Structure 1
Amino acid sequence: MLDGRFQRGFSQERLAKGQEPKVRKDERGYYVMSLSENTKVYFEDFYGFLSATYARAQMERKELDRKIEATTARSSETLTYYRAKGVAVDLLMRTVRRFYTDGSNLGVVMTPWCFGTVVLEKIEVYRDRIGKGEVQDPNVVGYPYDIVRYIDEIHKAVLLELFDFPEKAFQMRWQYSEILRRYSRILTDITSRLQAVLSTVKTFGT
């Protein structure tokens, strides 16, 4: 259980029922083959990684709140830095909660580095949306330009620290991103084909 509140999307009881054809088991436990690296990803390792990451992010969020409270408005650059870091921390926590609780899609079960790439790209998209004024974030106070600038400068380092990753972890991002994009296109194509088939069936049935 995450933070004592959030239940695993794929519990041990559910996995033990054997209703998921892509789930396999060996002496270490239940696992799936990852889309990104064609390697085993054990459910216990995956959820353990998310839990550890979430705990570090929670501690960082509390520390940021303490620092913001103790910093005067005259130290505007320092406050902007803290708030920009808060954007990254909060988005990471939201993403961890979503992946941890998702029980509808085995695609969320992935290696730590692949998950890190997902969050990295989410932050970069979110940063751009903040800059365009498309989202309202509680960390953004006043004009968003300075917040966006700091996010751009620090988000990779913040994630490496919270994930406890080596710097080379994000050097593989192009591989993960391309595979995930291909997988997304395949799913979209399958959905379109199914809709076309259903439409044809309905046409013949009338």
Structure 2
Amino acid sequence: MGAEKLINGFKRGFPPQWLERQSEPKIGKDEKGYFIYTISENTKVYFEEYYQFLEKIEQKCQLDLSSLEGKLSQTPPTRSESLAYYRARKIILDLLLKNIFSFYSDSSNLGVIMTPWCFGTVMLEKVEIYKDRIARGEANDPDVGDFPFYVLGYIDEIYKNTLLELFEFPEKAFSVRWQYTELLKRYSKVLSNVTASLQSILFLAKNQNQET
């Protein structure tokens, strides 16, 4: 068993105590522990392994960030290329940590429980979205600094390898991202259809009640 919390104190959204008491039909248990079949992959994911994975990545991120902050403070302003690289990597790590905190502590959505590869794909897309926001001037990130062009250039150059390195994934991990994206889109479409149907039923029921 892990520490059941992150370095910053965030606790697991679905801890062992909750799993022992829950009656959620999506959750099963075998000799390895509690698991769930994920929405996007229909794959068995064990809660303990999932949380341990996030704990491990958070620890690596914190160590890397500590090193980066030291380099940023010691690098003179004249070395703009080096500063841009450090800031680009820091932006990626900060975004990753922010999402680790969110996924790890989420206690209301079982959809956050996923395989490491799926989590990596989610993070890949989140970095790309954030990168585009920076490019459009929509993200007020202090690490962009006075050289946004160089910082964006480095983000674009290093974000995939940075994530692969942190997650300890092979290069092919992100080559199957389309599978996750398509499955998630399909699931979202199903949910939208169900929601629309429910709204129609509620609307009809409301009208009938008013008529009577």
Fold similarity call, TM over 0.5: yes
- Structure 2 equivalent of residue 124 of structure 1: 128
Bigger mean CA deviation after superposition, 18-27 or 42-51? 18-27
Corresponding residue to 2:207 among 181, 185, 203: 203
Residue 31 of structure 1 aligns to a residue whose secondary structure is: strand
Q: Which residues in structure 2 correspond to 1:160-175 (within 5 Å)?
A: 160-175=164-179
> What TM-score, normalized by structure 2, do the two folds share?
0.93
Deviation track 1:163-206 (CA, whole Å, cap 9, x = no partner) reads: 11111211111111111221222222222222222222222222
Residue 20 of structure 1 aligns to a residue whose secondary structure is: coil
- Structure 2 equivalent of residue 50 of structure 1: 54
After TM superposition, give the deviation of residue 127 of structure 1 in Å. Answer: 0.2
Question: In the alignment, does 2:144 pair up with 1:140?
Answer: yes
Question: In the alignment, does 2:39 pair up with 1:35?
Answer: yes
Q: Distance in 1 between matches of 2:135 and 2:37?
A: 38
Number of residue pairs the alignment of both structures matches: 206
> Which structure has the larger Rg over C-alpha atoms?
2
- Structure 1 equivalent of residue 26 of structure 2: 22
- Structure 2 equivalent of residue 13 of structure 1: 17
Deviation track 1:29-56 (CA, whole Å, cap 9, x = no partner) reads: 1000123332210000000000001110
- Structure 2 equivalent of residue 99 of structure 1: 103
Gap regions ≥5 residues in structure 1: none
Deviation track 1:75-112 (CA, whole Å, cap 9, x = no partner) reads: 00110011011111011001111111111111110100
- Structure 1 equivalent of residue 78 of structure 2: 74
Residue 181 of structure 1 aligns to a residue whose secondary structure is: helix
Gap regions ≥5 residues in structure 2: none
Q: Distance in 2 between matches of 1:134 and 1:199?
A: 38
CA distance 1:143–1:179, change in 2 (3 Å)? same
